[in-house]
Amino acid sequence: MARKNYWIYGNKYISHNYMTLKAIQPGVIISSITAIAAAGGEVEIISNPTKIGKSAAIRYQAEVSDRIRVTIDHPLTEVLELKDLISIRLGLDNYETVGGYTSEETQINFNKNLTVVYDIENILDSFIKTELHLSTIDNYDNIIYSEIIPISINDDGWMVEYATGVSEIELPYKPVVDSLYVLIENSRINQYEISGNKVVLDIPEGYSCMVLYKPEFIEQGGLYEFSNNVSLTPSYGIVLRKDYSNKINFSLVLDIYNPDITSVNHTPIIKSLGLMTSDK
Partner 1 sequence: MKEFLDKRNSFIINNRVGYTADIYNDHDKVIAIFNSLKEISTNIEDHVDFLIENIDEIEVDVKNLMDIMKNRISYLTSAIVHIGKLKMSYPAIAKEGDIKLVDLTKGSYDNISYSHTDSGLIMNATTTTLFME
3-state secondary structure of 187: strand
Q: How far is the CB of 154 from partner 1 (least distance, A)?
A: 15
Q: How far is the CB of 145 from partner 1 (least distance, A)?
A: 19
Closest-CA residue to 173 (of 143, 144, 200, 196): 196
Q: Which is closer to partner 1, CB of 197 or CB of 277? A: 277
Q: Which is closer to partner 1, CB of 18 or CB of 217? A: 18
In whole angstroms, give the CA distance from residue 81 to residue 78. Answer: 8
Pairs from 5-8 (Cβ < 8 Å, separation ≥ 24):
5/69, 5/70, 5/71, 6/69, 6/70, 6/71, 6/72, 6/82, 7/67, 7/68, 7/69, 8/67, 8/68, 8/69, 8/70, 8/82, 8/88
3-state secondary structure of 235: coil
Q: Which is closer to partner 1, CB of 103 or CB of 154? A: 103
* 82 φ, ψ (degrees, to nearest 5): -60, -40
Q: Which is closer to partner 1, CB of 65 or CB of 229? A: 65
Beta bridge partners of 254: 101, 130
Q: Which is closer to partner 1, CB of 229 or CB of 258? A: 258
Q: How far is the CB of 172 from partner 1 (least distance, A)?
A: 21
Q: How far is the CB of 224 from partner 1 (least distance, A)?
A: 18
Q: Which is closer to partner 1, CB of 111 or CB of 179? A: 111
Q: How far is the CB of 263 from partner 1 (least distance, A)?
A: 12
Q: How far is the CB of 211 from partner 1 (least distance, A)?
A: 20
Q: By the 8 A CB rule, do 265 and 95 touch?
A: yes
